[in-house]
Structure formats: C-alpha cells, structure tokens
A and B are shown apart, each in its own frame.
Chain A
Amino acid sequence: MSATAPTSRSARSGPVEPVGPPDGSAATAAAAAVEVRGVSRRFASRSGDVVALSDVDLTVRAGEFVSLIGPSGCGKSTLLRLIADLDRPTGGELTVFGRPPHVARQNHDFGIAFQQAGLLPWRSVRANVELPLELHGTGRAARRARAAELLGLVGLADFADHRPDQLSGGMQQRVAIARALAESPSLLLMDEPFGALDEMTREHVQTELLRLRAESGAAVVFVTHSIPEAVYLSDRVVVMSARPGRVREIVPVALGSAGDRTEELREDDQFFDRVRAVREALHGTDPADGTARGVDQR
C-alpha cells in the first residue's frame, strides 16, 4: 500500500456520514457500514457439524452503534469474524461499505479490538498504537503525532514509553482501543473488549468509548454479554439465540446521541426500561413455539 496519511482515510466510496452520529433516525442512501444477507456459518467437525450461524440478516448503518448480545456460543464472535474477513461464511453474503469483506480488509476500512488486549509485549505502548500505521506505510512523524493524540484521548499520554506489562488490564484495553482507532476507521469491530475489566473501570471506559465514537462518527459493531452495557452504548441491540445462531430480535434503544449520554443515564427510568426490553427479548421464547414471548418475565 502506498503511504496514506491517517486522516485521508475517510476518502472512500460514498459520502461519509457527518461527524456526530445519527441516532438511528438519519438513515442514509449511502452504502451501509455492514450489510449481512442470509449468512450462515457451519463448522464441520468429527462429531457432526456445528451450525454457528443460520440465515442471519443485519444492516448496520454508517455511524450507527449496534451491539450483539446472546447466550454463550450463539455465534456473536463468529459473526464479527465474518465481517472482519477473519473467516468466510458457508452461505449468504456480507458487504462492508458496499464491498466484500476481504476488499474492506485490504482497504483498512475497519479497526478491530478483541476481548484480550493483544498488545505486542516487546513494543512500547506508543509503538503498539503505531503498529497499524507503521504496517500501512505512514511516515514516522505522522505516526508519532497520531499516537500521541490517541493516547491523550484514552488518558494514557504519560504511559507512551511504558511496556504493556507495566499497565493494568484496563489500561491495556484502552491502548488496544486507541490502536483500533489509529487509522480513523469508519467502522469499529469489538468483541467483548471490556469483558475482563472490573465494574468501575468498565463503566469509565464505556463512557470514554461513547465520547470517542461521538468524535469519530464511526459505526460500531460491539459484542457483549452485559445487557446494561449494550443498552448504555448502543443505538440498537441485536438479540441472538443459540443453536443455530439466529437474530431473534432487534431492540432499538437509542437513549440520546452518543455525546449526550452521561453516567446519570444509568440511573434513568428510560434506561431501566430498555434494559428490561432487552432482557425480555433475550429470555423470551421463540414465537415459533406458539408461547407468548416476554409475558410474566422479569
């Protein structure tokens, strides 16, 4: 790839969403960030096939924050890996900004963060943040400036020259998020990035992520096990069911634009309302069973 300044990244096909994400209302005619059409993923194994995903449909608009929630093993990670082109579907079709995932990957259209921070232990915190820029040929000075900016954003400016193992788990995770943001991607893919954090750090980093996302206007696909986390962060929550992995219901939650959401929201009645709605969707029986879903469920 030729040298590309990180900021010129956004010069991609289709008009880019203006900064300040739409709250689900400002649907655009431009290519969606992620378009999933009838996707299946079947893993062949000696003890029979495992259907991780079956006929999944999902559209994530540009600038939209979508969480995936569901029981363990329902295929959340698998779906994220398909979008990131770390795996291929056995059926159906995916596009990222209107292009096949492998093209999007080659174009560095998305940033990615996993449950493990996955920092390279022999690189300093700064060099870890610079890694994608370095691999894609950004000049030294531009790299340094961008890393300094990002580390400031995640509140780790003083730790640029530290080694990852000198940082706490939460700090490492923030470095990983800074690294995912390094190329100002229009799409962020995150697989339980806060799974290993304690509650206090977790809430803090969540608010931080909202702020970062409000500033960058990126679309986010966010895998989580926590209902409050999904509600607090998302515009829409995708509730999945297990075996085979399916989208059971999509719950719109958007509690004000990302920039406006503050810690107080966690105490808000509206918030509890949405949490209940997601929980009911998660625990409810399938309409196919004929039983009313969500009735007398807490």
Chain B
Amino acid sequence: MRRQVLTGTAGVISLVALWEGYKLLAPDDGVVVAGMTVLPRANDVAMPHLWDMAARAAAPVTSAPGADPLWLAVGQAAAFTLGVAAVGWVIGVTVGLLTATLMQRFRTAESALLPWVVLSQTVPLIALAPLVRRWGSQLEIGAFAWQDWMSVAVIASYLAFFPVSVGALRGLSSPDAVHVDLLRSYGVGWWRTYSTLRLPAAVPHLLPAVRLAAANAVVGAVVAEVSIGLRGGIGRMIVEFGASASADPAKQWSPIAGAVVVGLVAAGVCVLLSRALDRYRVSEVS
C-alpha cells in the first residue's frame, strides 16, 4: 500500500516536471517541419501553466453573479459521470457473469453466444450511441420514461460486459478435473458445484476482467455523453469548455483533471474489491 502511494506520488511529480519542463524549453509555437507540427505549441493558450489551471479552478465558472467556483462545478459533473459509469459497470458485470454462466452451463450456448459476444465489440461506439438513444426514447412503460442518462449507462455497460464475460467464462471453466469429480462424488448438483467450486475458482480470472470493465465503463460513459449530448457530465463539460479555450485557456483543464479523478476512483474501488476477495486469489494447489 505504501509503495503504491509512493509510486503514485512519484508519477504525479514527474508529470508536473514534464509539463513545466517542456513549457520552459520548447519554443512557443512548437516545431514545424515542412508544414507538419512535430512538437506541440508551448504557449499559454495551448499549454497553460499548472498554477494558472489551479487558480482558474478556484475562480467562479462564469462571470455571472453567484456562480459556483469552477472546481465545485467540475466535482458535481465528475460525480454525475461516475454515477452513470457505476450503473453501467454493475449492469455490465452482471450481464457478463450471466452470459459466462450460461455458456459454461450449456455447451451449445457457448458456441451460439461466444461469436456474438466477440462480434458485438466491433460495432463502433459512435454508431451505437444514437441508436441506443432512439430505441430508448420509444420505450415508455406507465410512469417510467427513458432518460438520456440511461442510454449512456447502457453504452457504458456494453463496453464493460465484454471483458467480464470472456474472463468469467475462462474462470468458471478453470477448476481441475479432480475437483469436479470430487463434487460429483458428493452427489451435489450443478448449482452447488457452481457456488462452492466454479465461482470461487473464477475469482482470479474475474478480478482483472472487472478492473478492465471499470476502465471501459468510465471511457464509455464519457464518450457516450458527448455523442448523445447528455448534459451534466464531465464529458460534455470538456467539450463545452474546450470550445471557449482561446478566451479562457486554463478553464478546460479542470474537467480533464476531473475525468482523470473519475478513472482513479473507479480503479480504487476495484482495488478494494480485490482486497475483499483476497482469499480467493491464492494460486492453485494440486
């Protein structure tokens, strides 16, 4: 734990040093060779000083009276995106686990489903987002009306479920023949075998899959917000502030930092989850 904190801190410090060092050394207009920009511009519009960004974060979002400070607005947007990504992650992990269970239980399901699972990931997100939104908007059951954030969560889950279903399938099929024989000799059925043997044995395969799913859910949520046009999240905020970058260059870096924090929180949750399941991570003994 202490080592992780140390390496994390070292990473941040070297990033700061790299940014400010580049700004110090590189020419303001970058390096252009034969009309191509080889090194990016280092002027204050393209790369504001870190302390300018910090100062901008503390200032109000807009000049309108009573406006929240920028860091607060970014924090709220980050929390919103994190929430949507979390919903997507939970759905994705659940669906992934269910698909894998189905594939493990029925051989025919594996040959029928697995190609589709793999194929599903070749559909580009940009093409998918408007479709999901359109389908969702046609959905209305009683008092329940489809919200745009649900479309974003669905897309996040769509990216999250893939690694989980593949990892879980491998994990659920991982127990040794002697373990399967042993449980069979006890005369227990499929469900008890699943809960006492297959699921615990799958944990070492599931944890990395679940981590990958979390990263995918966050990226999926941020990108889907932009392509669906959902307001209130960090993705939309990055695009919005980026549009006014020339007037207020330091402003757009706050939501970018916010997106990084969302990713870090998601990774942190996964670390806690790994901790909780620590005893299932022991390497196999004969």
Contact = CB atoms under 8 A, between A and B. Distances in A.
Interface of A: 1, 81, 84-86, 105-108, 110, 112, 114, 116-122, 131-132, 135-136, 163-165, 169, 172, 196
Interface stretch (B22-30, B47-55, B186-194, B215-223): B186-194
Given A131-B196, A135-B186, 15 more contacts: A81-B181, A84-B185, A110-B185, A114-B182, A116-B178, A117-B285, A118-B182, A118-B286, A120-B197, A121-B285, A135-B183, A135-B188, A165-B282, A169-B286, A172-B285
B185 A121 contact: no
Contact of A112 (B185, B282, B286): B185
B134 interface: no
B192 A135 contact: yes
Contact of A106 (B182, B183, B187): B187
Given A117-B286, A163-B282, A165-B285, A122 B200 contact: yes
Residue from B176, B188, B285 having most chain A Cβ neighbours under 10 A:
B285
Which residue of A112, A117, A121, A131 has the most chain B CB atoms within 10 A of its CB atom? A121
Given A116-B176, A135-B196, A121 B282 contact: yes
Interface string B96-113: 000000000000000000
A114 B192 contact: no
Contacts of B176: 116, 118
A120 B174 CA distance: 13
Chain A interface SS verdict (over half):
loop
Contact of A105 (B185, B280, B283): B185
B199 to A, nearest CB: 11
21 contacts: A85-B185, A86-B185, A105-B184, A108-B186, A110-B185, A112-B185, A114-B178, A114-B181, A114-B182, A116-B176, A116-B178, A117-B286, A118-B178, A119-B285, A122-B200, A122-B203, A135-B196, A136-B186, A165-B285, A169-B286, A172-B285
B179 interface: yes
A132 B183 CA distance: 8
B286 A172 contact: yes
B279 interface: yes
Contact of A164 (B181, B182, B188, B285): B285
Interface in B152-199: 176, 178-179, 181-188, 192, 196-197
B196 A112 contact: no
Contact of A121 (B184, B192, B196, B284): B284
B70 to A, nearest CB: 48
Interface of B is mostly: helix
B184 A86 contact: yes
A106 B286 CA distance: 26
User: Chain B interface: which size bin?
Assistant: 20 to 34
A94 to B, nearest CB: 15
A164 B282 CA distance: 10
Given A122-B200, A135-B192, A112 B182 contact: yes
Nearest to B196: A135
Nearest to B193: A135
Contacts of B279: 122
Contacts of B285: 117, 119, 121, 164-165, 172
Nearest to B178: A118
Nearest to B284: A121
A214 B187 CA distance: 27
Contacts of A107: 187
Nearest to B188: A135
B176 to A, nearest CB: 7
A177 B184 CA distance: 17
Interface string B120-132: 0000000000000
A122 B182 contact: no
A131 B187 CA distance: 13
Interface in B38-65: none
B200 A120 contact: yes
Contacts of A81: 181
B283 A121 contact: yes
A190 B182 CA distance: 12
A119 B283 CA distance: 12
B187 A86 contact: no
